[in-house]
Structure 1
Amino acid sequence: MNILKSHSKAALLATCATTLFTASLLAQSNGTVTGTVLDAKGTVITTATVRVTSEGGTNSRTVTTDTLGRYSISGLNPGTYTLEFVANGFALTSRQVSIVNGQTANLPVTLQVGSVSTEVNVEADATHSIAAALAPMDASLDARSARTSITQHFIQNFTSPVSDFGEAVQMAPGTFTTNSNGVGLGQSSTYFRGFPDGNYDIDFDGIPFYDTNTPTHHSWAFFPSQFLGGIDFDRSPGTASTIGPAPFGGSIHLLSKNLSPVSNIRGQVSFGSFNTQLYDGVYDTGSLFHGKFNASIDVHHMQSDGYQTWNHQTRNAGAIKAQYRFNDKNYLTGFSGVIWLDANTPNFNATRCQMYGASSGYTCTGSLAPFAGSGINFLLTDNSDPVNYLNNEYNTYHVPTDFEYVGVHSEFGKNFTLEVKPYTYNYDNGEKYTNATPITESKTINGSTTYNGLTIAPCNIPVVKKGVTAIPCGVDKYNSYRKYGETSQLSQVSSFGILRAGFWYEWAATNRHQTPSDPVNNWANQALSNFNESYWTNSYQPFAEYDFHVTRKFDVTLGTKFSHYDIATKQYADDGKTIGGLGTNDPNTFITNHGSYSAWLPSIDGNYKLKSNWSVYAQASTGSVVPPSAVFDYAQSPTGTPVKTLPKQQRSTTYQAGSVLKLKRVTFDADFYRTRFQNSYSSVLDSTGEPVYYLQPSSITKGFEAESNIYVIHGLSVYLNATVGRATYVGNLAVTCTSGTAGCSSKAPQLTVTAPSGLWVANTPSDTETEAVTWQHKGFDVGMFNKRVGTLYQDNGAYHNQATINPFTVSNLFFNYTVRSGGRFDQTKIRLSFNNLFNSHNITADKIAGTAATQNIAANGTTYVDPFNTTGQTPINGGDNISVLPGRSVMLSVTFGLSPKR
């Protein structure tokens, strides 16, 4: 009897609840909406949340998709409803539907991945891999190339609060980053597979950014870690849709932060080594205006003395990202980032003599003070002299930047989607520094002045201070460019696959000069500059590719893009350092030049799912690098004879194959790669003195990469990656005469350059390894990371393998605790980081001062210097400029979070 009473009460309560909910929707409830939730490939998404809200937002109801991705919501009154679809790792998708009395509406939905950085989390959820969910970085089961996803969670917990993108990718396979002034405290240098900056693309939310004179990057002046929501790191030229000026070695795709659906305010204060301070404030609006509007604002201030002597900086920055949804298929996304960067970076590195003093392997001239790190002053002998060439007054670096875009997303019938992003950004670098060499006492003042055996070239403005202490000439340097462009892509999803076609266009105007100047006389400039130029560039890349779904397990992508780059220059007469005086030495006279470069870049790749958690892939892809503006930097005649033979774009061809496996407690991915790439160009002069450019002999880089994350227990994981590689010069190169070339016929080779086997490409380590232990449990994120970089070689730009850099290791430790209760103080966090935990000071780079023994080549009556050194390495020289790992840095951060009650 009691059991029957209990059942009766339960039934009565259920009936009452159903009646109340039904009444809250409307009086009559007999409409239904059903559908299936899929991803872009047509795979069903299980456990997706579907929320239906009545017009006006007065009532809502939520269901979950079943194992077949289906959902069904019945009992809806006639009217208009909004449906929101949410799944882990996918962007929020909204749809509207009209319910007619007594009828059923069918509404299938395709969700798009929120960002590439969330793709790993999506897969971890689908494959039930704990190891994948906890991996610091990981590959995707859908990978077509060696690709690593670095999430916002990694950036915010396992890098320093003042880090830049280089620190974020530092632990990835085959990659290393150096910054002699400390993490995030200067322009870092990042290499992977031996490719330096300028041989790979960096973009932000799909928009390429780079310097206009070479495709290098000023990433620290555009995108600090506070702006980053993740990184998609592709160590290959990518597919046809991979746009940018240098898809040569790979691409680093920076991603903005995803907008939060919950309102939140966070304030962060950080203090650390080298008197580093960071103050950061973030406001997330959450969803406003019935879910139509969402925004996030970040404002921060950073200042630091830096590790190096008097290399301090100040950064004030702010970013805003906002999105407005007009309806379920059309929305706008906008981003703006503004940075005001001031630094006092000297324009040179320390020498061996300054760093270590004299040694048995080399000699030092003069009394040179050390330049080793924070707190050690690098002064002249007369320390009382207020005019010191490292003083802030004589070394200033002022860089305001801004970066803006507006993204338009529109969905049409038959699963067509159009995305267009017009953008603009500006880089404005005004720099003044003393072009100095360490000195102690002067022997002469005017003419060629010698200081303890170190000769300093005279300047047209002699400067004397205190009679005997000479302050060498300074330099007034300026580089500014403004760019306007757009990226667009039209895609269409069908049962056959995904079509992608699009276009990238960019126009830029640049002004640059470098002028000798007097730092103690109000920076009075020399009449003729070292160079003074303006130039305009146009870049465009149309592309098309098709991702064929051959079977449910096998995909093949085939496509191509056309890369075109055009430059027009206006160069003013100079003091002979660049183009010369143009006959009159009048600084107002100028000469113009023009060049165009084009290349077709095809690609093909495939991915096969052996199982739902195991895939294999292969790729063949091509990339290129556009030549720098310096191709016109040679002594030009007043009549303006153009370059007879312009250099071609450097080309690369990459072949690679790999596999990705995700088990419950172990992830593993590995790849083999082989890239043949053309090295930078050289030139010879013809009979008229005009340069004839040619590419140096090609190189081949090849190797093996592997990484794994092993889940142990209770949030404890071990992460490992390792690479073994080799990059060497190969083959011969014949440069063919052109009409008018001295000493040869029209078909005879003018110069043949032989690249002896065994010479390594600079900055290509023989191996790299990363070992890490992480513990991620109940708000705790603790990680110990160690990176080892094997032996690598350094060049001086002409002679190869001159110096050997011994293996070096850097270890970092991170401790974080975050409140994740979902309450009012959600996201409050304590963050402690140690970079270079064991205070290592290994050498990471060597700018060669000595000259290697060389051999000459005689061709057609002319003698040329062989650009390859075949007689051994250059001996260690006390004047070599070297870089070392910055000393240990410790940062303590406290983030205060405030959220409304939910």
Structure 2
Amino acid sequence: MKFAFSTRRHLLAATAIAYALSITAPASATPTDADAAANAPDGQNNGIAEGSDVVVTGTRANEIAPVTASLKTTQPQSIISRSFIEDSLPATADFNQIALIAPSVSNYGNANGSGLSESKAQIRGFQDGEYNVTYDGVPFGDTNDPTHHSNTFFPSNTVETLIVDRGPGNASTLGQATFGGNMNLFSRATREDASFEGKAAYGSFNTYLLRAVAQTGAIDKLGGTEAVFSTQWVKSDGARTYSPFRSWNIFGKVMVPLGDHARLTFLGTYNVNRFNQPDKDGATQDQIAKYGKYYSLNNDPTSQGYWGYNHTRKTTDFEIIKFEADLGEKSSFENRAYTYSYDNETLSGSDVTAYGHATPESNTVTLTPGSKVTVPGVPGYTKTNKYRVYGDIAKVHLDFGFGTLTTGAWIEWSDTYRQQRDVDLVTMLPNYIEKKVTNPVTGAATPQNIKFDQNSNTNHTEEFVELELRPIPGLKITPGLKHVDFNRRVDADYNQTTRYAQQLSSDYSANLPFATVNYAITPGLSVYGQYARGFLAPSLSVLYVDIPGRSTVQPEKSTNYQAGVVYHGERLSIDADMYKIDFSNKFASMTSPIPGVGTIWFNQGSVQYKGIEGQITYAFPGGLAVFANGSRNYAKTQNANFLSLQVANAPEWTAAGGVLFKHGPMVFSLIDKWTGRQWFTDPSTIVPGDAKSLSSYNFYRSNGYNSAILSARYDLGKIRFGVEVNNLFDSQRVTNINTGKTAASDQYFYQVGRTVTGDITVKF
């Protein structure tokens, strides 16, 4: 690979981690079409995830399509461009809302408005924590399990392109949970030409957004160095009661050429979110009946749900230093050193579900250690969850004519601190309400206001090798192997759940084979297939036990099979696939029947995922296009001791469709996404032959919902006006239910109703 620091440099920058990028036009495409594709200003033709090539043909369909796929892909994928993010989505959208346009992707959350509260995405029914999210090739996630915070690290102003890979990738695809797929975010690209763009938006719930993006262009005195800087500020009252939201983000990226054959890239982003929301969010049926679907907090200072007692500040940063160098005409070396941090400081009522019940809240506290005397007060707690992660990824690509060898390693370690303490929310004095616990070794008593105070660490290494063979023109066969070692350690003064001092650790390892094939039948038609094994280490909670040796839990494992086809014609773009994933060793816990053992963890049964997916775009003359995509997703338990039922939060199908128009100064789109029937409880709770438990499973069910977005933009040169109507048809159905100890404490989440936003963008 040789870096081309020329008119196509911005395409390479747009895919900060793609090591091979090829933009081509089929024979039927005119030179004008190919030129437009190669010079698309908003990153419409971008690379994909690590370990993959990309060919995005310069056709009319691909220029306007909201999602497309690479002709060189070895797994089902959806490439979502910056132009779609700018033209068709609210500026406050988080990355899960961006990804929602892809088939087999669903989500819930955003209950306070688009990007104004966190959301959780699912891919083929795999939940957050069962698939990877990466930013410029770096996997990121929480350190107790690999889950993600959708609006905390990377708001939409920091994202150039998003690619949903619905599969585990190759051996060089890195992350803790590759078997569920990969959501790959790519940072904003630097440009050769200097520019400035400012955006102001105002919409429903008194929501303000201000954004600025500045490009330095190529700086000749610094050898062609390019940089991009962005900042964004959001302020909103929120869709839910007494739930204001504030956010501030800054982002910077500098690309420094080191001669003709190497470059160095520095990237950093910093984000602060402040909002009022209970730690355990959602509205009970009693609260909904009295205060409406969008109840969250109140203005009663005698209540645990008082807005002044429930607030959170989340601060994050993310930094990457990336070095790339040629090792020959088509060989290269790359290295990424990175660090990121997360700090969540929360104050919350202990039980916000009690407000609004027929009986009043039991608002009493114990302010004297060891006393049983209670006094009036408002029980709550403080919570801290903060961590820093350090890592490095090194890869070498060696081309030898009829093949390419890729090998490398990933090392990562983390330090985490977590605590939770009971307080009286009125006085902020300790509330001594926890059960008495003594250390079984030292006999020391745990303070009765401490739920836990815990340090933990992870050490994670992956070594991989893959060999792409090209035996005949158009055919690529890529076997590979990845070795994983994963270690967790807890060093707690007061461990979570047990509440006494513990020093515990667990180690897991696996060898994971991969094999992919891609065959280009014609320049615009290719087929692919994939086989892969997956692995996920148990979460930190397996170390919240009295006797770890009694647990028998092993890592979750998967075996993936899938195949598909991609076609790019001049006006028609289409791809389709089918998949089957056998998933075993599902994690579960229980109280041991042996006295004194307490909680133990074990593996329980398996799940089979299978289905079909597809997406299509057709471009008419004059800038008009229609598109559709959909999936039928089967995600059912395969256990002998209970029925074969769809797992929780796994829609049986998804579908999207719409019309897009781009011509001259006018941009218009109407896009609708449907999420099919799903259940909200774990089917493993069902007792065979027990009609009552099956009835309970079916009670916590949604028959599906949709959300349409109408967007229009008009460009007057340096000024662009826009408006979008989110949830055009005002659907307000249930998207998720968090089940409580009783039905009265179940918490419901609903779609936010119709919202309207207007914006003005100024460009220089």
**TM-score of the alignment, normalized to the shorter chain, above 0.5:** yes
Q: Does 1:149 align with 2:79?
A: yes
Change (3 A) 1:300 1:40: closer
Cα 1:356–1:41 shift into 2, 3 Å: closer
Alignment equivalent of 1:211, drawn from 130, 142, 145: 142
Name the CA shift for 1:780/1:43 in 2 (closer, same or farther; >3 Å).
Answer: closer
- Taking the aligned partners of 1:810 and 1:559, their CA distance within structure 2 comes to 41
| 1:306 paired to 2:172 | no
- 1:694 CA displacement: 2.1
**In 2, distance between residues paired with 1:709 and 1:87?**
16
Equivalent position of 1:730 in the other structure: 638
Give the secondary structure class of the aligned counterpart of 1:124. Answer: coil
Distance 1:617 1:428 in 2: 42
Q: Within 5 Å, which residues of 2 pair with 1:374-393?
A: 379=298, 386-393=301-308
Larger Rg: 1
The alpha carbon displacement at 1:287 in A equals: 0.4
Distance of 2:335 and 2:618 partners within structure 1: 41
1: CA distance, partners of 2:83 / 2:376: 53
Partner residue of 1:404? 319
Residue 770 of structure 1 corresponds to: 656
Given the alignment of the two structures, is residue 494 of structure 1 paired with residue 393 of structure 2, yes or no?
no
User: What TM-score comes out, normalization by structure 1 length?
Assistant: 0.74
From 339, 354, 369, give the equivalent of 1:424.
339
Task: Tell me, yes or no, if structure 1 residue 158 matches structure 2 residue 108.
Answer: no
Equivalent residue for 1:755? 642
Select the residue among 192, 204, 209 that pairs with 1:273. 204
What amino acid sits opposite 1:297 in the alignment? F
Residues 340 and 232 from structure 1, CA distance in 2 versus in 1: closer, same or farther, beyond 3 angstroms?
A: same
* Structure 2 contact 282–296 (Cα < 8 Å) conserved: no
**Displacement after TM superposition at 1:319 (Å):** 0.4
**Could you tell me which residue of structure 2 aligns to residue 836 of structure 1?**
727
Report the Cα distance in structure 2 between the residues aligned to 1:698 and 1:458, rounded to whole angstroms: 45
Structure 1 residues 489-528: aligned runs within 5 Å? 489-524=395-430, 526=432, 527-528=447-448
Inter-partner Cα distance in structure 2 for 1:438 and 1:687:
33
- What residue in structure 2 maps to residue 712 of structure 1? 620
Structure 1 residues 223 and 327: alpha-carbon distance in aligned structure 2, compared to 1, 3 A threshold = same
Task: Quote the offset at 1:228 in angstroms.
Answer: 0.1
Q: Which amino acid aligns with 1:814?
A: S
The answer to whether the aligner puts 1:395 opposite 2:345 as a matched pair is: no
Report how far residue 601 of structure 1 moved: 1.6
* Aligned match of 1:168: 98
TM-score by length of 2: 0.86
User: Do residues 339 (structure 1) and 271 (structure 2) align?
Assistant: yes
The answer (yes or no) to whether the contact 2:609–2:636 under 8 Å persists in 1 is yes
State the AA in 2 paired with 1:188: S
Deviations 1:662-715 (CA, angstroms, capped at 9, x unpaired): 122211111111111122233453565165532111010111111100112311
Q: 1:512, CA displacement in angstroms? A: 0.2
Q: Deviations over 1:610-668 (max 9, x none)?
A: 2111111111112222211111112x3xxxx5434452111111111111111222111
Pairwise CA distance, 1:40:
7.8
8 Å contact kept, 2:642–2:684:
no
Q: Structure 2: which 5+ runs fail to align?
A: 1-11, 13-17, 369-373, 433-446, 687-696
Using the alignment, how far apart are the partners of 2:23 and 2:339 within structure 1?
39
Q: Show the counterpart of 1:535.
A: 456
| Inter-partner Cα distance in structure 1 for 2:468 and 2:721 | 45
2:466 matches 1:545: yes
Residue of structure 2 equivalent to 1:619: 530
For residues 199-255 of structure 1, give each alpha carbon's deviation from its aligned partner in whole angstroms, at most 9, with x where no partner exists.
100010001110001110113110000000001210111111110111121000100
Q: 1:358-384, CA deviations, whole angstroms, 9 ceiling, x for partnerless residues? A: xxxxxxxxxxx31433xx7854xxx7x
Is residue 233 of structure 2 the alignment partner of residue 318 of structure 1?
no
> How far, CA to CA, are the matches of 2:746 and 2:551 in structure 1?
35
Distance in 2, matches of 1:471 and 1:305, equals 28
Q: How far is 1:302 from its partner? A: 0.7
Q: Secondary structure at the match of 1:643?
A: helix
SS at match of 2:170: coil
CA contact (8 A) 2:55 2:71 kept: no
1:44/1:457 Cα in 2 relative to 1: closer, same or farther (>3 Å)?
Answer: closer
Alignment of 1:661 with 2:567, yes or no, is yes
Change (3 A) 1:454 1:520: closer
Change (3 A) 1:700 1:798: closer
> Which sections of structure 1, spanning at least 5 residues, go unmatched?
1-37, 48-65, 70-84, 92-112, 358-368, 442-450, 463-467, 583-589, 733-753, 852-876
Question: Could you say which residue in structure 2 is the equivalent of 1:220?
Answer: 151
Q: Which residue of 1 aligns with 2:38?
A: 88
Q: Distance in 2 between the 1:437 and 1:881 partners? A: 10
> Separation in 1 of the partners of 2:301 and 2:591?
47
Q: For 1:795, which of 668, 681, 688 is the aligned residue?
A: 681
Query: Structure 2 matches for 1:16-27, cutoff 5 A?
Result: none
2:21·2:53 contact (CA, 8 Å) conserved in 1?
no
Corresponding position of 1:202:
133
Q: Which moved more, 1:386-395 or 1:809-818?
A: 386-395
> Please, which of 376, 380, 391 is the counterpart of residue 485 of structure 1?
391
**In 2, are the aligned partners of 1:401 and 1:428 still within 8 Å (CA)?**
yes
- Taking the TM superposition and a 5 Å limit, the aligned residue runs for 1:408-487 are 408-413=323-328, 415-437=330-352, 452-453=358-359, 459-461=365-367, 471-487=377-393
* Matching residue of 2:497: 578
* Residue of structure 2 equivalent to 1:897: 763
Report the alpha carbon displacement of residue 273 of structure 1 after superposing the two structures with TM. 0.6
Question: Partner letter of residue 700 of structure 1?
Answer: Q
**For 1:236-247, what aligned pairs fall within 5 Å after superposition?**
236-247=167-178
SS in 2 for 1:393: helix
Tell me if the contact between 1:309 and 1:371 (Cα under 8 Å) persists in the aligned partners.
Answer: no
Code of the aligned partner of 2:474: K
Tell whether the 8 Å contact from 1:115 to 1:255 is kept in structure 2 after alignment. no
Q: Which residue of the other structure, out of 262, 277, 293, is the alignment partner of 2:193? A: 262
Specify which of 95, 110, 114 is matched with residue 183 of structure 1.
114
Partner of 1:743: none
**C-alpha distance in 1 between matches for 2:22 and 2:70:** 16
Q: Percent identity over the alignment?
A: 27
Counterpart residue type for residue 406 of structure 1: I
- Residue 312 of structure 1 deviates from its aligned partner by 1.6
Contact 1:437 1:456 in 2 (8 A): no
Closer/same/farther in 2, CA of residues 676 and 461 from structure 1, 3 Å limit: farther
Amino acid at match of 1:617: Y
Partner of 1:328: 260
> Cα 1:355–1:719, aligned 2, differ >3 Å: closer, same or farther?
farther
Change (3 A) 1:630 1:409: same
| Alignment partners' CA distance in 2, 1:269 and 1:837 | 22
Q: Which residue of 2 aligns with 1:124?
A: 57
**SS at structure 2 position matched to 1:221:** coil
Higher relative contact order (CA 8 A, sep 6+): 2
Tell me what 2:749 maps to.
Answer: 883
- Kindly indicate whether the alpha-carbon contact (under 8 Å) linking 2:284 and 2:353 is maintained by their aligned counterparts in 1: no
Alignment partner of 1:682 is 2:589: yes
Partner residue in 1 for 2:611: 703
Q: What does residue 604 of structure 1 align with?
A: 515
Match of 1:57 in 2: none
- Partner Cα distance (1:42, 1:257) in 2: 17
Is the 1:632–1:643 Cα contact (8 Å) retained in structure 2?
Answer: no
Aligned to 2:146, the other structure's residue is in SS state coil
Distance 1:689 1:680 in 2: 19
Hey, what does 1:815 align to over in structure 2?
712
Correspondence for 2:486: 565
The alpha carbon displacement at 1:414 in A equals: 5.5
Give SS of 2:173's match.
coil
Tell me: CA distance 1:386–1:629, structure 2 relative to 1, closer, same or farther (3 Å). closer
Question: Which residue pairs with 2:668 in the alignment?
Answer: 782
